[in-house]
Every structure is written in C-alpha cells, then in structure tokens.
A = this chain, B = another copy of it.
Amino acid sequence: MTFDLTEGVVVLRRTPALLRTLLSDLPEGWIEATEGPGTWSPFDVVGHLIHGERTDWVPRVEHILRHGDAVPFPPFDRDAMFAASKGLTIGELLDTFAELRDDSLRRLQTFGLTEADMDRRGRHPEFGEVRLGQHLATWVVHDLTHISQIVRVLARQYSDAVGPWRAYLSVLRPDPRSLIPDP
C-alpha cells in the first residue's frame, strides 16, 4: 500500500482514544507490567510516544522542510521517558499524549503538504537519505507497533494462567524479533 497523507492522519488521529480505551482504569499491576528486565511497561510506552510527539514526528517534518538533506536529524533519545514520566499517573500521560497528538496533527495541516512533498529528502543520523513520505508512514507504523506491544505485554501477564492453552496462543511465545522497536 502506498502512503497517503489523508489516510495516514485517519490512523494517527485515533491513537489517543485507542490507548485510553486500552489503559484507562486498568486493574493495578497491568500498567507497570513488563515482559522482563530491559523491556517496557505500558506506562513506559506511553511516555515514549509522548517523547516522539515532542522531539520526533512533527519536529523532523519541520527539519526536512527547513534543511532538506543538508543537516541530519538530531538523534532520538529512546530512554528520555524514564525521567520525564517519573511521578506521573497513566491518566496524566494519556491526557498529555492526546493533547500533543492533537497539536501535532494541527501543525502538520498548516504545512499544506502535497503529494510532491512526500519525495522531499531528509537525512537520518544513522541510515542516511530518507523521504518525507517515508517518515510520515513510519509515524503511523510506529503508533501501531507500540499499540501491538502494549497489547502483548498485557496478554503475557496471563502466560501461566492460561495453562495448556499457552501452546496455542502465539502472542505468549517468545518473540525472536527485538521486543522494543526504535525508529
């Protein structure tokens, strides 16, 4: 499927509501649950998404519009949320994410991007030349990746509770792919 900005925005716009339905008022223990040492809890993931709104998605669009591929993006700090989320509740994080996403999509709209703009070049600090459309498609997939991750973390809390059904539920089996994607 080719990336289409209008369609992509339809998906991006529903992420805050989705996270709220998934995580608001969940029984204690689920929000802080992880998949083991070094992996993220739903609480950590929402903090990571907040940091993406602040420093990655729209800021890198602005970066491309301003610098093209002449200046690489500043690198993304994937551990920033551990300090930034400290002392906050999941409800506060969900509210903050919803406000920031709303603001991101409003700013995105002010750029008036056309289909031709999707080919604009940017420079990624690690893998070099990228296109604006690829960056925006990544924003969509990144949301979906982390929603899928949260759902998996929740599911795995019942890994033992399901007994013999465990063998039939692929989500409970170890995933040989990396657990924390980091675009």
Binding site for B on A (CB under 8 A): 1-4, 6-7, 10-11, 14, 17-18, 21-22, 25-27, 29, 33, 124, 127-128, 130-131, 133-135, 137-138, 140-142, 144-145, 147-148, 151-152, 154-155, 157-158, 160-165, 167-173, 175-183
Q: Which residues of B contact A164 (CB under 8 A)?
A: 124, 127-128, 130, 134
Identify which of B141, B151, B155, B175 contacts A155 (C-beta below 8 A): B141
A46 to B27, CA, bound (A): 25
A52 to chain B, nearest CB (A): 13
- Verify B169–A141 contact, CB threshold 8 A: yes
- Verify A1–B182 contact, CB threshold 8 A: no
Q: A18-B21, A158-B137 are in contact. Are A1 and B169 (CB under 8 A)?
A: no
Q: Which residue of B lies closest to A14 (CB)?
A: B21
A10 to B23, CA, bound (A): 11
- Verify A144–B155 contact, CB threshold 8 A: yes
A5 to B124, CA, bound (A): 48
- Verify A171–B163 contact, CB threshold 8 A: no
Q: Which residue of B lies closest to A1 (CB)?
A: B157
Q: Which residues of B contact A165 (CB under 8 A)?
A: 130, 134-135, 137-138, 141, 183
Q: Which residues of B contact A142 (CB under 8 A)?
A: 169
